[in-house]
Structures are given as structure tokens and as C-alpha cells.
Structure 1
């Protein structure tokens, strides 16, 4: 695997080309000045929108500003992520953030103004001004919130409380990212060293069981020490959410959380119920894991170690890209051509270099193209990451090409569908073409663990959120004991009785940042299940599903997420897509059992 000590050593073809956004910083500065002027112009509309024409002019200017700001911000962010140690890009990003605050302040009058209009008045404006037809659906969509908007005075008070209401999440972030010091583990030469998160993710997969146990105990140590403090922040976050839902007259905190995507609570409940009705194979997998590892007792620190030792495939970036092309052939020629454009046009930033942002992401820049950040390590995980991020990238590319700016961005609810369909096609291709029994077993294990993490674990988290919010709504005080009892009970229900429960297990809730962004994690599970359902149909040669799926990728946010999925044949208000996905999980577990 090539290693690079500096970014300039990386071949040009493996670095993204930011000149597609701005060829030089003068252009960035020019747009910055334009946006400042446009922001001042937008501000002048406060109190001066009184007919269809002025409303249209405001919205048109606002969209033009949004287009320029999208490019401006993306360029600065991507420059920072190339090398987080350089201070110049950080200064540009900071300026972009400050500009964002100015834009928000200048346009903050608009939503209260809009919701203050009578619906008949707004429809009259749209009728009178032809240009408003483009914005019409978006404007009327805002009226869905009207029942949940308070009086101007109350909104002003809530807005001032906004910062205070976000304190629990912010406090947890500071504890979790800045203050927590993990316990010590034994280093290579027997010396004691402080554990880091990066080390933990590697050590928890180590074949040496003592190393796993030591890392596990060290990792949980600060969470156990801070359990009362963290319980207090989580309790406050949940109570804030429940109180806000009440003030805004939502039937429950859950329904407030689902409102934006227009998802009925029955979809959320159906996900949990159908998963628990089909939980048997998950318990069976835990049992198989215990047998394959030859353990008398299975502990939580045994749940991530690969079941096949010594399988270390070296997969170069070139080979990974070629494998992806072959695996995704069922999606058709146009899809593969788009991927080739990504590579040839340098939309991807491939290599890890000192200071580069870790992890991977896709960022769609409207009017330009997607940018994909990778840190390719020439291994199986990197192959899956490439395929995953390119799924997001093609979704961004097609939606931007086929949708106007107003509906080009797809919602988080459907985002994981495109990436997971790709992963399912990849695992299917690898299992079909791989002859080595150990590698096949390793692939099965890899995909089952991904299924467990993206689906079962997220459904368990979703149920934890639902239960704790309902307790708060009933006035039950939330504390360490309530959180721990709830979490331990759910962990048992989802993972089965083969696991010996160390004290740490029940404190799992204390380390989950997503709990401060309520009713979000279920989207991973619905997206994953939808993708399994679609990929299975595509692999069966169902052309109707393939055509509908490619249309879905072009749809952006032109409809509500559930409606977009329904057009592909996935109806999440029924158990069918969840059951189909769990059937596939059963097949994978059965195949692993026979290896």
C-alpha cells in the first residue's frame, strides 16, 4: 500500500479537483462580496413583501444567494479537509460561517411573515405571479407547520431559549470529545498507554481476547465514572424535547420528530414490532459466534472480533474501483459511465495524508458535481467505503442533473438507500466470484456484522428513544437506573441470552451521541431495509424495480420520502420490506452456520 508523507506526493488523478468550483481565490472573494450585497438586499424585504411580485423577487434572490453560498462554503470546507493543519483554509471557512450567520439574521423575518399570511392570500399570490409556481409547493409545505407555530411573542421567547435548550447536547459533546480520558491499556512493549477511540476500534477486533477485554474495560471506565452526570444531560435533553413538543402542540415528542419527513408514527412502530417478531436469527448469530470462537462464555467484547483469523486481503484502489464497476453492472450502463466520470473528472480524494480529515463522505455541490473524500487503505473495508460513498455520489449527481435547485437535495431519510443498495450488490458479487472458503466466510461475517450495526442496533436505539421519551411524557423521573434498566432489557431482547452481561453493558446508553438528536437513528434501519429489498429485486432481474430505482435516484426531494420509496415498490407502512430484509439476514446467518 502506498504511503504518503505529504499531499503533493499523491498522484494528481487521485486528488479531487476543486478548480471545478473556483479556479482561484479571487473568484471566491468575488462571490463573497456578491453574497454580502445580496444579503443586504434580502434584509430590505422585511416588511416590504405585499404582493406576488415582491414575494417572487425575494425568493428568486434568496435562491441565487443559496446557490452561490453552497459553492463558497463547500470550497472552504473541502480545502480545510485536505489538510486540517493549514490555517489559511480555516480562516476562509470561518468567514463562510460568519457569513452564514449574517444570512440567517437577514432572512429570519421570512418564515414568521409567511406563516402569518392566510392560505387563501398566499394562493392568490401564486395565482397572480407566474414565477411563483416554481416555489409554490415549497411555500404551501411551510403551512403544514402552521398549527405548531406559536404567537410572535412566544416564538421570540422560544428563539431566545434556543441556545439554552441545546445545552445538554453541547455539554455531552464536550464531555465525550474533549474531557473524557479513557483508561490505560498495555502497549506493544508491555508499557501502559492511554487508550484512544481509534485504538479502541482496532483493539476490540483483536484476536487476543485479553487485549479486547482490557480495551473494553478501559473504554467504558470514564462512562461509568461519569454515569450520573451523563444521565443528567440525557434526561435534560429528553425533557427539553418533550416540553417543546407540548408547547408546539404535537401529540407526542415522537410525532414531532417524524413531522418534517411526514412519516406517521405507525412506520416507526412497525419497524420495531416487525424486527422483534423476527429477532430469532439475530439470537442464532450470537450463538454461532460463541461456537465459532470456541468460547465457554460470550461477552460484549467478543461481539466485534472477526470469526476468521488471518484473512487480510490487499485490494489496491485501482482493483477496488474495477471490482465496484463489475459489482454494480446490474444497475446498467449509464450508472457505470457516471462512476467512470467520477474517476476521470477527479471527483474523489483517495489517499490518507497527514492532516487530512479522517473517515469518508460525499458532498454534493449543486451546479458543479459531487466531491467524495476517502482515506483508502487497500483493504476490504476501503472497498466497501468506496462503493458506499459512490452510491451517495451518484444519487447527488442524478438528483442535481434531473431536479431544479429547489428539489435537488435528497432527505436523510432516503440517503442511505443509494449507498446500501451498492453494498448489497457488492457483497453479492464477491460471494458469487470468491472461491476461497475462508475469504467467503470472512465476507459473510463482514456483511452480517454490518447488517447488525446498521439495522438491529439502530432499531434497538430507536426503541430506547421511544421508551425514554414516553416515560418522560408520563412524568417518570429519568436517571441512571431508569436508563440502565431500559438499555439492559433491550440489549437482552435484541442480542439474546448467550451473552454474559458484564456491568458495562447496561451503561451503553451513556456513550451514544445520536440520543441528543432524537428520533434520527431509525432512518438508518429503514434505509437499510429498503435497500436490501430493492437490491434483492434488482438481482432477481426485476426490470420494473430497476427502472423505478433509477428514477428514485433522480428524484431528489421532489416528493416526501415515503412516497418516493413507494414508487419503487417499498411501502414502509407495511411489514413487507422489513420482513424481506430480515429474510435475507436469515439466509446469511444460515450460510455462515454451514461454513
Structure 2
């Protein structure tokens, strides 16, 4: 879920550029319906750094199950420094192996979604991790109960414990939230994830499962597409129809979608209300003042950071109101409605960008990050490195993801179709990949994993640098207008829209925690009020627009959406610092990447020059939005778009807009 930044790229001599090891690969035309065997092996990731075979994987899985019970010999003995050290060394050795087992299974499944054996391996891997977590539960209980002085004495007596100092500090930081053994057991049975080793927001709650099941089982309405054909609406179909040039097509699609949600408002209100009640119950059980405080405390983030985002964005809503007015003028509309928000403002460019050209462009765009970053990026972009599974095929997971475990190189899943969008996706995913690379090369295993709050910063910093590189190379007003329009939409959807979501999520939790029942009517009223405030007086609300809350899966992710907005804001702010400050700013940013999880996320961000307790980073993103808006108003207002006309970038303008 993020905006893309695209550009028409002239593929000339750059296309023959190649890194070592990639020269022998034959050209391949991507085909989503091809079998995996048809894709050249050089464009597939190499899982041998994890396990050379499924048999080796199975042996490792069984070894975890065999060794996990041996942790029991340390139970009740962790006040002894030597015993604590031996226990943690065994635990982290098994945990690292279990992570490899889980990663191998997931990577195999992601390129073979219909393979029963691959699915079975995933379940077996999760079973091994669950068994390890169950056997290791006493570690956090006993270490949290140790007096502070006793733990410091242990560090002095056992120098090897220094590697685990941050891990133990994080376990003990919330020791006052631990309940009695019986209460902890009861909360664990109900799914409380406060003490989980992994971020269970990545695993659906039963209420999220119910929401997803209901959305899948709904009979979606029939609407007309751009050609006047009757089509069954779907979420993917809505994403296409909302970009249609014909306003009536867009309007009908949205009205049908919101009308469908209205028909299911009571059950959708029950699932979302149930999620809110569950969040509040977990927080109250552990003595937190609010569910927001409880979930942010997992990553050691104060509530003030969340409120700073909402407050700063609200102070800049005048810019979003200007953007709505720009849309009205460029599209030639009497008013702007929700169905008018996604139709492109400028001509879309559909030139082919083969992987070799994308690779060279990305290396040039990210050159400001310095030679060390560039060398690792060149290695990771070389198909011979085994980092990348590049092309789509039948049975492959859709989208793009980066997977990392400690030890081997990162693994990047793409579905590269030689499109301009894929260039931005590549920049985004390699931001994640290099973040993991630098963290694992600089930190011991217990300090390697960074928290979700900063996960999107490295990826969006790359996107921002790429966008500036492409804008600098734009050689016509049409190209520049297109890029500016895409930058505006990226910030609208990732900062403004996600902050609207975050404000809604915060507000409905507060309502419930204050004793207000969450009825569908109240959810509708609350959401409508936010839409009206965010989009301003030039935006016309439809009758059912407030029902959008009912179809947003992010509201089941438990205070996650805000990190999209802070991630892009921080990424933009860091990219600005690097452009202005050169090598020292780039090195400060790399220090943040190398930090992994060795310090609280706000402290790591400060090393890169970003302080999310202050409005500066978000204001920096707002300044980028304002500058793009200023220029777009000059380039686009009065131009409009005409059917079939060619842009001087070589692309074709889409059909005229209503």
C-alpha cells in the first residue's frame, strides 16, 4: 500500500549496462501465465544460503523440535549469570535456526501458491517456532523478575551477556505489565500478543479473519465499465474503474461499492467494534490508560508521536484543499467527489523499462547514498547474487515483498513486467533489503530486527531520491507534469489519507474507552466528519461516503496505518537532508540502517536527523507537497487533456475527461 513514482525512460545505451554475473542471461519477456520452469534460472532467487535442499530443511526443523525441550534445564536458574548466559546462547541459536526454517518454507510457498507440499512446510515451520516459544516462555518471566542490581551483577560476572543487554532491557522494560501466571495463561489463550517474539499484527486476528471472509463471500454488485459492458465489481475492479476517464463510470462504481457496504453495515460494524473492544480489553488488563498507549509501547514509542503526526497534518490541510481545487480545475468538473480522487491528472506514460535499464537508473538515482551503499546495491541487483526472484509466473505470490533473516542475504520478490511502476517498486523493495543487510552486518542476532515503525523509512527514502532523479532528468513539460502529479498523489494517499485513517482509528478507540457504544451510525458520522475536514469545502460528500470505514482492512491491524505516514514523511526528510548535506548526512542515515534494533526507534531516527516528537519531518513532507503543488498548478491548469493527443514525451494522452 503505497504510491508509485514513475517516469518515461529512454532506453538506449543504459540497457546494455550489466553487472558482473548478469551478462550470460538471455533476454526474457515476462509472462504472468508462464510456468516457473519457463523463467531463466538466473532470474530466480537462490535459497541455498538457507538450505541446499528440502531434506536439509527437514533435518533442521526436526533438530529444533529435538533440542527445544532442553531449555527446561535452565528454568528456575536464571539468577545465576553462567546459567543465564548458557540459556540465552541456546535459545538464540535455536531461534535463529527456526527463523531460517520458517523463511525457507515461506519463500518456497511464495513461488508455488498451489503446491500442497509448500503449504504443509509452512505449517510445519510455524509449529516448530510455536514449540520453541512455548518452551522458552520462562525466560521473559524469570528475567523480568530479577532485581535490577542482580542483572547488572550478572553482566559484570559474565562478559558474554553483553550481547543480550538490549534484549533483556526490552523484556524488563514492561515488567510492571506482567500479570499472575494464571492471568498470563488466560490472556495468551485469548490471543494477547503483548509479549510475542514476532509482530502478530502480521497474523490476522479472528475478527480480521471474519472481516476478510465476509468481504470474500459478499455478492458484489454489477456495474458498467468504460465500454458499457456489465461487469461484476470487485476490489481489484474498483481500482481500475476509479481511474476511468468517464465520470459516470467512476461514480457508478463507487456508489455500488458503498451501497454494498451499507447493506452489510451491522455485521461490519460488529467486526470492527469487536476488534476495538478486544484491543481495549488487552490494554486495560495490563493497566494501560488506552489501547493506543499499549500498542505503541511495544515499540517504545510515546503517544505524543502519534498525536504529533495527526496534529501536524491537520495544520496543513489547507494544502490538501488546494489539491482538491487543482483536481477540479484540471478535470473540468463542477465539484470533486470521492470518485474523482484517483483519476490521473496528467498523461500516463507506458514505455517499456527492461530490468537492465531499471537497474542502471536506480544505481544512478541512489548514488547520493555513497559508495558503500552503491556497491551493496549493485551486488543485490545482479541476478547472479541470488537476492532476487524477478519475473511473474503462474502460481507466484502477487505484489512485491522483501524477506530477511539473520545470516543469508535478503530475498526480494518482484513481479517485474517492464513497467514504469516496477522501477519505483524496485527502489522501494531494495530500500528494505539494504536496511536488513546493513543491520545484520553491523549487529549481533538479538539486536538485528528493526521495528515496524521505521521499516518503511528506508524504502520511501529510496523512492524520494528516485523521484528527484527522474524529475531532474525530465526533458519536457509533459513529463514533468506527469511526475509532479504522481508525487502529489503519493503524498495524498500515503500521508494525508493514512493520517485520516489513523485519526479515525484513534477516535473510535477513545469513544469506546469512554463508554460510548460503537454503532454503525456513529462510525459513519465520525468518518464523514473526517472526510469533510480533510478534503475541505470544495469536496462534495456523497450519501454513503461515510461507509468507507467498513471496507478498510487496515483498521484490524491495531495501530499500524500511522507508520505509513511517518515512514514517508521521514523518508522525504532524510532524502532532503542527504541532498543538502552530502556525505555526512548520508553517513548519518547509514548509521540508522546499521542500528537495526539496537536502540529505541526514535533514538535511531535521531541519528539520521529526524525527530518524530517534533513536527519538522512531517512539515518537510508538506513542503515537498506544496512545491509540487505550486509547479503543478502552473503546468496543468488551463492545459486540460484531450483525447488521443500525443505528449511531447512520446506517450499518448488518455481519453478526454468528463
Using structure 1 for the length normalisation, give the TM-score.
0.96
Q: CA deviation at 1:440?
A: 1.8
The aligned residue for residue 577 of structure 1 is 617
Is 1:525 aligned to 2:553, yes or no? no
| CA shift in 2, pair 1:94/1:243, >3 Å | closer
Residue 468 of structure 1, aligned match among 508, 511, 514: 508
Is 1:145 aligned to 2:183, yes or no? no
Equivalent runs, 1:212-291 vs 2, <5 Å: 212-291=250-329
**Conserved 8 A contact 1:366-1:405:** yes
**Conserved 8 A contact 1:362-1:389:** yes
CA-to-aligned-CA distance 1:275-327 (integer Å, 9 cap, x gap)? 11111111101110111111123211110111123532322222111111111
Worse overlay, 106-115 or 88-97: 106-115
| CA shift in 2, pair 1:211/1:338, >3 Å | same
Residue 429 of structure 1, aligned match among 462, 465, 469: 469
Worse overlay, 317-326 or 186-195: 186-195
Residue 452 of structure 2, aligned match among 412, 436, 441: 412
Worse overlay, 514-523 or 278-287: 514-523
Is 1:115 aligned to 2:126, yes or no? no
Residue 537 of structure 1, aligned match among 565, 577, 599: 577
The aligned residue for residue 478 of structure 1 is 518
**Conserved 8 A contact 2:368-2:582:** no
| CA shift in 2, pair 1:163/1:121, >3 Å | closer
- In structure 2, runs of 5+ residues without a counterpart are 1-28, 194-203, 636-658
Q: Distance in 1 between matches of 2:521 and 2:225?
A: 35
Is 1:514 aligned to 2:554, yes or no? yes
Worse overlay, 180-189 or 67-76: 180-189
Equivalent runs, 1:258-407 vs 2, <5 Å: 258-309=296-347, 311-344=349-382, 345-407=385-447
Is 1:186 aligned to 2:192, yes or no? no
**Conserved 8 A contact 1:126-1:132:** yes
**What is the root-mean-square deviation in Å for CA atoms of aligned residues?**
2.0
Q: Distance in 1 between matches of 2:374 and 2:144?
A: 45
Worse overlay, 476-485 or 214-223: 214-223
- In structure 1, runs of 5+ residues without a counterpart are none
The aligned residue for residue 95 of structure 1 is 124
The aligned residue for residue 562 of structure 1 is 602
**Conserved 8 A contact 1:308-1:441:** yes
Q: Distance in 2 between matches of 1:578 and 1:278?
A: 10
Q: Secondary structure at the match of 1:109?
A: helix
**Conserved 8 A contact 2:167-2:447:** no
The aligned residue for residue 175 of structure 1 is 214
Q: Distance in 1 between matches of 2:69 and 2:413?
A: 35
Q: CA deviation at 1:535?
A: 0.5
Is 1:31 aligned to 2:50, yes or no? no
Using structure 2 for the length normalisation, give the TM-score.
0.87
Q: Secondary structure at the match of 1:503?
A: coil
**Conserved 8 A contact 1:484-1:507:** yes
| CA shift in 2, pair 1:51/1:574, >3 Å | same
**Conserved 8 A contact 2:225-2:241:** no
**Conserved 8 A contact 2:390-2:414:** yes
Higher relative helix content = 1
Higher normalized contact order (CA 8 Å, seq sep 6+, divided by chain length): 2
Q: Distance in 1 between matches of 2:555 and 2:271?
A: 11
Q: Distance in 2 between matches of 1:161 and 1:85?
A: 31
Q: Distance in 1 between matches of 2:542 and 2:138?
A: 54
